[in-house]
A and B are shown apart, each in its own frame.
Chain A
Amino acid sequence: MITEIKNLEEFKTLTESGKVLVEFYSKTCGPCKMLAFVLKDVDKTLDNPTIVVVDFDEYTDLKESYDVKGFPTMLMLKDGKEIERMQGLKQKRAIIEMIEKA
């Protein structure tokens, strides 16, 4: 399921356990728009993955705490800890591979 967070509390709740893919995006970024479609595709392909979407410009504290410098950036979290990161637009198969590997 893809969830766009509405507050930091929600982010914390969604990411504190299990495997979670977090995407930092910007509304002004073309690759982010494309990635939104790719993530929908990933969501349909996998068995109920947890995908959390964060507005890069709105959640500056999160951006800084995860040292996210550009968008789109995807973080693979496991029990709240980052285990892998992808920068830029990626194809569906690369994202699925990262999730399955986590």
Chain B
Amino acid sequence: MNYNLPKVQYLRIDHLVTQQNRKEKEFLSQFEQGDYTLESPLVVDNPYLINPLAAMVLFETKEEVSVTVTVKGKLDSTADISFSFGPSRKHIVPVLGLYATFENTVQIELSDGRNTTLMIQGGDLPVLTQQVEKIFTSPEYMADNLMFVSAAGKSLPGGYDHKGDCRWTLAENFVFDMKRAKNGNLLCGSYRYSRVPYHAVGICEITMAGKIVKEYRLPGNYHHDQWEMEDGNLLVLTQDFHRDTVEDQLALIDRETGDVLRMWDIRGLFPMNVGKSGSWSDHDWFHCNAVWYDKVTNSLSLSGRHQDIIINIDYETGALRWMLGDPEGWPQELVDKYFFTPVGTGDFDWQYEQHACLITPEGDVMCFDNGHWRAKKKENYWLNKNNFSRGVRYKIDTEKMTIEQVWQFGKERGQHFFSPYISNVEYYEDGHYMVHSGGIGYVDGSASELLLPAFLDPNDPSHVQKSITVELKDDVVMYEMHLPTQFYRAEKLSLYHGGDNLFLGDGKVLGTLDVTPEFDTVPEAEEVLEAPSEWNQIKIVEEEDRFTFHGRFSKGTLLMLCLENEKETHNYYISTTARPALAMCVGSFMAADDRQLSVNISKLGFSGVFKVKYILDEKKFNTGITITFP
């Protein structure tokens, strides 16, 4: 009996790194074999497959000359994007900031005075890349910067100029935080989804043209945030899926090898079941959503959304130094030793379910105070329609253990700036900040009370999702951008930078995945000869380091994936139960039909050829697919 197609679909896909390496070799080989000049260069659209607003222009000159590339603004020169590259005879010039679905004018000027004008068609924007609804700023204020946003809902990363035009996007969803590394590349979460609800296999370093220089995989995956240390090594938020809590560990990764050099465990620093926020659960008790290294104090600050707390620990010893948050519900001995007491006569509010903590050069603490629930006891919780979110700056004195609120923006906007989740702040200099409220959601014109904005229905006209990014200088709004869905964080960056704007050579996949945890108990089930139902839409996608089992299953059915050969079996329980998520920081991986499930099984832990079967209630089905574990 043929169990295979059409009931079960099988796909083998290469890692994006493999695809990009192949594509780069192709265009470099074409360049080497051809005779490309300034007048007749080789133009490669979307050279790394995922940035339709980038191109590569390649040509040779007889003499060593510098090259200036300019993508001309659509309407006027204030929107020009320009960069000069150092002298060379071989010119491989990344062209960034093309307009989508538009014939762009691109000027190439050489230092010897020669120039040419190319017309380069910008690719179409991916369907999920969003367009700006409203923007207020000036070209003088934004200069050559774009506002980059990382997706949280059904959208993709984007970069928008001062007119609100999209000049950068990626066709794959690189999730969570997006920071510029010292070499100019972006550090962000990998596009490869790993585990429910939003854990990615690791983080990626990518060029602005979209080339993955390195993917750093972690056994405990990646969530929320990362930080580049002075020596280039990376701090990454992670966890251990072999224990019963999540989002409570931090890893230090070797930048070159991807090896995990050190781990910090938040568990054990203080009790897990105290100071609970309204979104607390025993599984996701801390929900660490930010890490910040402060060189002055050689310490790490970590934001714990589900305990309404920002903690600071010593980098070397891992010992607790201070805790910033509402002390209600915390043991008195911890409050006495680590908590701050408000001082001063100005306005003061604690932060609740905060994100993106940072330490300013002055030693102050800033964060995005989401304000979700805005109280520690249920009877005091705020309704969202009466609530507010804000960027806030606290001055702390770690000798006297006092705290003073010295700045905030957002409270005055009330529910219209309220994001119960995600969002960030940026510090540029004293008095100059960004506040990004990325998770706004309304139902019938009021802040959504029952559903996190991530779960609002974009097809329901009474549901509105929004993201508002504001920059202020001395309390004057210098920038405001509205986008029509949720964005995890915003980051103001230029497309070109002072580092290497071109990275040639093979991208690498480093680190390791985890051995996927198995389930000890196997339900009794009758192995049947019938093929899986087409309704279940079973699809198996194999990659170099894992495979993914996709399917549609009714809520409440019992489902287990089984890998079998003559010698051994490996079993993985798959939940089909709809669970109200208390934190859905990145909903990008959620299927529109929540009966659609995807489960990733790493190829680590054992070897051999295995049949892929699954138990659905009392029956065991054979998909007809075999997977080889190296």
On A, residues with C-beta under 8 Å from B are 28-31, 33-34, 37-38, 41, 87-94
Contact with A along B498-539 (1 / 0, CB 8 A): 000000000000000000000111111000000000000000
Q: How many B residues touch A, CB cutoff 8 Å?
A: 20
Query: Which residues of B sit under 8 angstroms from A90, Cβ to Cβ?
Result: 244
Given A87-B282, A88-B283, A89-B575, do A30 and B557 touch, yes or no (CB 8 Å)? yes
Query: Which residues of A sit under 8 angstroms from B523, Cβ to Cβ?
Result: 33-34, 37
Rounded to whole angstroms, the CA-CA distance of A94 and B522 in the bound complex is 16
Rounded to whole angstroms, the CA-CA distance of A97 and B557 in the bound complex is 28
**Pair B573/A34 contact, Cβ less than 8 Å:** yes
B203 to chain A, nearest CB (A): 29
Rounded to whole angstroms, the CA-CA distance of A59 and B471 in the bound complex is 55
A91's partner among B520, B559, B576, B617 (CB-CB below 8 A) is B520
Tell me the nearest residue of chain B to A30, going by C-beta. Answer: B576
A101 to chain B, nearest CB (A): 15
A69 to chain B, nearest CB (A): 11
**Pair A30/B558 contact, Cβ less than 8 Å:** yes
B145 to chain A, nearest CB (A): 46
Q: Is B577 an interface residue (CB 8 A)?
A: yes
Query: Which residues of A sit under 8 angstroms from B282, Cβ to Cβ?
Result: 87
Rounded to whole angstroms, the CA-CA distance of A89 and B573 in the bound complex is 10
B318 to chain A, nearest CB (A): 27
Rounded to whole angstroms, the CA-CA distance of A89 and B436 in the bound complex is 38
Rounded to whole angstroms, the CA-CA distance of A38 and B557 in the bound complex is 16
**Pair B558/A92 contact, Cβ less than 8 Å:** no
Rounded to whole angstroms, the CA-CA distance of A88 and B524 in the bound complex is 21
On B, residues with C-beta under 8 Å from A are 244, 282-283, 519-524, 555-560, 573, 575-577, 617
Query: Which residues of B sit under 8 angstroms from A94, Cβ to Cβ?
Result: 244
Tell me the nearest residue of chain A to B580, going by C-beta. Answer: A70
Rounded to whole angstroms, the CA-CA distance of A31 and B557 in the bound complex is 8
Query: Which residues of A sit under 8 angstroms from B522, Cβ to Cβ?
Result: 37
Query: Which residues of A sit under 8 angstroms from B558, Cβ to Cβ?
Result: 30, 33-34
**Pair A91/B519 contact, Cβ less than 8 Å:** yes
17 CB-based A-B contacts, threshold 8 Å: A29-B556, A29-B577, A30-B557, A30-B558, A30-B575, A30-B576, A33-B523, A33-B558, A33-B617, A34-B519, A34-B523, A34-B573, A37-B523, A37-B524, A41-B520, A87-B282, A91-B521
A2 to chain B, nearest CB (A): 14
A70 to chain B, nearest CB (A): 9
Instruction: Count contacts between A and B, CB distance < 8 Å.
Output: 45
Rounded to whole angstroms, the CA-CA distance of A34 and B567 in the bound complex is 25
A75 to chain B, nearest CB (A): 14
**Pair B556/A30 contact, Cβ less than 8 Å:** yes
Rounded to whole angstroms, the CA-CA distance of A28 and B519 in the bound complex is 21
A33, A89, A93: residue with the most chain B Cβ atoms closer than 10 Å = A33
**Pair A30/B559 contact, Cβ less than 8 Å:** yes
Rounded to whole angstroms, the CA-CA distance of A93 and B521 in the bound complex is 10
Query: Which residues of B sit under 8 angstroms from A88, Cβ to Cβ?
Result: 283
**Pair A28/B556 contact, Cβ less than 8 Å:** yes
Tell me the nearest residue of chain B to A26, going by C-beta. Answer: B556
Rounded to whole angstroms, the CA-CA distance of A33 and B521 in the bound complex is 12
Given A91-B520, A92-B521, do A30 and B244 touch, yes or no (CB 8 Å)? no
A92's partner among B520, B524, B575 (CB-CB below 8 A) is B520
**Pair A93/B520 contact, Cβ less than 8 Å:** yes
New A-B pairs, 14, CB < 8 Å, besides A30-B559, A30-B575, A38-B520: A28-B555, A30-B555, A30-B557, A30-B558, A33-B557, A34-B558, A37-B524, A38-B521, A87-B282, A88-B283, A90-B244, A91-B519, A91-B521, A92-B521
A25 to chain B, nearest CB (A): 11
**Pair B521/A34 contact, Cβ less than 8 Å:** yes
A31 to chain B, nearest CB (A): 6
Rounded to whole angstroms, the CA-CA distance of A88 and B196 in the bound complex is 15
B270 to chain A, nearest CB (A): 21
A95 to chain B, nearest CB (A): 10
A74 to chain B, nearest CB (A): 13
Rounded to whole angstroms, the CA-CA distance of A93 and B555 in the bound complex is 27
Query: Which residues of B sit under 8 angstroms from A92, Cβ to Cβ?
Result: 520-521
